[in-house]
């Protein structure tokens, strides 16, 4: 189709509220006008660019820039601001992207930096541009497999559209809804809210960071009807939630891992309707969600597939295990649907899609008798801390760069504040302090990936084939913590 989703909303509903930031607000017509000015600026500076990266915390300029680049038919690579320069350099090189739009000072070789667009008085016509095609790449985000090698995920407009429509049906989203966004726009959890705004015609309220007291005050003043949170954010906000809850708040969409019983009970006591969900970068946000009415009966469940999403559990030999008599059998979670990407960049991980188009998530789970999904582990060993993914292999490789470390194994353990935390077990060649090991991770890993505890162990438990048995590390008594 010609034109963008934003352009369509501006034509059909010019005065409808679209975007809020602090005390400012934009209608769809005003947002479209703002985006056109940014597009004029970028067209003048991005000659023949096909793919451009953005490095920024949440702010209006980031939203305007994303929509302006899409209006120009340019793919957007989203960079996590918590990564080190080394991690950023790898992602940019792997995606063959030489230009980063940012207001930050980055020290990256062979990369051009461009400040966010300034207002341009020159009229800019994007009426006849062919953009937002279903098979056109809209965004690229990097995830990492258990090998620790990051993989680029190309998300198309078709993927995003399918995700938005499935969410609309599941949550009964209407034009009256306003979605609060304090999660990062460089994550799929944040970017998907921008997509819902322009695709579904709802409004969104953006925050530069999560302030539990400020968000609770906005909800008390009916400034939002839906909000995306992870467990830690929800826990931090609960003390500011009145006993009767928030009159205008319809749903809290919770990602980043399952909710524990005590937190769920506190939410129910305060009249908060929490929807637990399951999704990932490759699925363009949630693909499985738990109805609030089932929150207690199905405690620990991620839910049921959204519209257009197929799910099946396969055993180690990849034989489908979906029959009723296979209920409660743990296996790998496979997904299929329009919201799920069909490949990684540069043909990495192509084995994760079979010939029938099913995507192997690498996650283990099972379906109960009623078809509700329970996730046993995320990417087998994935650690989710405060909503951020930590891949053990990446941390292990970094630890083993220290000359005192012979071997390392990293596992996740429960943490009441963050959900999980990384814990390392190391076999040493010589004595070393914890601080020395952590210092060696500087500039190699983002700080949220650092292990909270490091234990010395004589030998890592292994199978006969030599594979480390990480469950033994979780069950053994913790001694010899390195100080």
Given 3-state DSSP classes, what are the helix, strand and coil percentages for the chain, each rounded to the nearest 5? 30, 30, 40
Query: Any idea what DSSP says for residue 117?
Result: P
pLDDT at 145 over 70: no
Sheet strands (E) in 186-247: 203-206, 226-230
| Nearest to 63, CA basis, from 31, 92, 41, 24 | 31
Instruction: For 328-348, write each residue's pLDDT tens digit.
Output: 887 889 999 999 999 999 987
Instruction: For 300-326, write each residue's pLDDT tens digit.
Output: 789 999 999 999 998 755 555 543 347
| Nearest to 304, CA basis, from 367, 252, 215 | 367
pLDDT at 111 over 90: yes
Q: Kind and range of the H or E element at 312?
A: strand 309-314
Q: What is the spatial distance between Cα 106 and Cα 412, in angstroms, rounded to a whole number?
A: 31
215: left (phi over 0), alpha (psi -120 to 50) or beta: alpha
Q: Where in the chain is the domain with CATH 3.40.50.12780?
A: 5-376
Q: Assign 122 a pLDDT band (cuts: 50, 70, 90).
A: low
pLDDT at 127 over 70: no
Q: What is the spatial distance between Cα 2 and Cα 11, in angstroms, rounded to a whole number?
A: 13
pLDDT reported for residue 159: 97
Q: Which residues of 140-160 are buried (b: 16+ CB within 10 A; e: fewer)?
A: bbbbbbeeeebbbbbbbbbbb
pLDDT reported for residue 150: 81
Q: Where in the chain is the domain with CATH 3.30.300.30?
A: 383-475
Per the model's pLDDT, the better-predicted residue between 5 and 480 turns out to be 5
pTM of the model: 0.84
Instruction: For 379-433, write each residue's pLDDT tens digit.
Output: 567 788 888 878 787 888 889 889 999 888 899 888 888 888 999 999 999 999 9
pLDDT reported for residue 290: 87
Q: In the structure encoding, which two tokens stand for residue 294, read together? A: 């089932």
**Concatenated DSSP letters of 146-180:** TTS-EEEEEEEHHHHHHHHHHHHHHHT--TT-EEE
Q: Assign 291 a pLDDT band (cuts: 50, 70, 90).
A: confident
Percent of the chain with pLDDT over 70: 90
Instruction: For 436-448, write each residue's pLDDT tens digit.
Output: 999 999 988 999 9
Percent of the chain with pLDDT over 90: 61
pLDDT reported for residue 464: 45
pLDDT reported for residue 9: 96
The overall average pLDDT reported for the chain is: 88
Instruction: For 239-277, write each residue's pLDDT tens digit.
Output: 999 999 999 999 999 987 666 677 888 998 999 999 989
Mean pLDDT score, 133-157: 84
Which residues are CB-contacts of 450 (< 8 A; sequence separation ≥ 6)? 395, 422, 438, 441
Mean pLDDT score, 461-473: 68
Q: In the structure encoding, which two tokens stand for residue 67, read together? A: 């929509």
Q: Are 180 and 169 in contact (CB under 8 A)?
A: no
Of 32-41, 223-232, 288-297, least confident by mean pLDDT is 288-297
Q: CB pairs under 8 A, 24+ apart, for 288-296?
A: 288/373, 289/170, 289/253, 290/372, 292/251, 294/372, 295/264, 295/268, 296/264, 296/268
Q: What is the spatial distance between Cα 441 and Cα 436, in angstroms, rounded to a whole number?
A: 9
Which superfamily does 5-376 belong to?
A: ANL, N-terminal domain (3.40.50.12780)
Q: Which CATH architecture has domain 383-475?
A: 2-Layer Sandwich (3.30)
Instruction: For 22-62, write each residue's pLDDT tens digit.
Output: 999 999 999 999 999 999 999 989 888 899 999 999 999 99
- Radius of gyration of the chain measured on its C-alpha atoms: 23
Q: Assign 146 a pLDDT band (cuts: 50, 70, 90).
A: very low
């Amino acid at each position: 189709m010609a034109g963008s989703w934003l352009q369509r909303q501006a034509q059909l509903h010019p005065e409808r509220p679209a975007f809020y930031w602090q005390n400012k607000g934009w209608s769809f017509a005003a947002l479209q006008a703002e985006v056109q000015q940014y597009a004029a600026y970028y067209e003048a500076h991005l000659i023949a660019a096909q793919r451009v990266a953005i490095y920024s915390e949440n702010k209006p300029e980031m939203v305007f820039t994303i929509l302006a680049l899409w209006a120009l038919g340019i793919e957007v690579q989203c960079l996590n601001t918590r990564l080190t320069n080394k991690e950023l350099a790898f992602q940019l090189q792997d995606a063959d992207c030489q230009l980063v739009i940012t207001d930050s000072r980055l020290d990256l070789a062979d990369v051009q930096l461009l400040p966010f667009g300034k207002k341009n008085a020159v009229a800019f016509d994007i009426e006849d541009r062919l953009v937002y095609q279903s098979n056109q790449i809209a965004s690229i985000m990097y995830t990492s497999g258990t090998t620790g090698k990051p993989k680029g995920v190309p998300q198309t407009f078709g993927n995003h559209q399918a995700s938005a429509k499935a969410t609309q049906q599941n949550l009964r989203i209407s034009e009256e809804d306003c979605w609060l966004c304090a999660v990062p726009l460089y994550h799929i959890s944040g970017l998907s809210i921008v997509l819902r705004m322009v695709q579904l015609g709802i409004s969104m309220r953006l925050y530069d960071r999560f302030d539990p007291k400020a968000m609770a005050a906005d909800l008390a003043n009916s400034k939002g009807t839906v909000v995306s949170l992870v467990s830690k954010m929800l826990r931090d906000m609960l003390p500011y939630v009145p006993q009767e809850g928030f009159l205008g708040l319809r749903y809290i969409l919770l990602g980043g891992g399952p909710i524990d019983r005590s937190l769920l009970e506190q939410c129910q006591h305060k009249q908060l309707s929490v929807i637990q969900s399951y999704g990932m970068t490759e699925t363009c946000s949630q693909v499985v969600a738990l109805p609030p009415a089932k929150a207690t009966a199905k405690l620990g469940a991620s839910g049921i597939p959204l519209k257009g999403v197929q799910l099946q559990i396969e055993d180690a030999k990849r034989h489908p295990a979906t029959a009723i008599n296979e209920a409660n059998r743990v296996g790998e979670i496979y997904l299929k649907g329009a919201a799920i990407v069909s490949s990684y960049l540069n043909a990495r991980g192509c084995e994760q899609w079979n010939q029938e188009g099913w995507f192997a998530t690498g996650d283990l789970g099972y379906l109960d008798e009623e078809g509700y999904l329970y996730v046993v582990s995320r990417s087998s060993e994935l650690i989710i801390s405060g909503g951020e993914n930590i891949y053990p292999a990446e941390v292990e490789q970094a630890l083993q760069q220290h000359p005192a470390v012979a071997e390392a194994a990293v596992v996740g353990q429960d943490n009441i504040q963050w959900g999980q935390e990384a814990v390392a077990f190391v076999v040493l060649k010589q004595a070393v302090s914890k601080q020395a090991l952590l210092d060696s991770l500087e500039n190699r890993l983002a700080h949220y990936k650092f292990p909270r505890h490091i234990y010395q162990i004589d030998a890592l438990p292994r199978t006969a084939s030599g594979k480390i048995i990480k469950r033994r590390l979780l069950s053994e008594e913790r001694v010899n913590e390195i100080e």
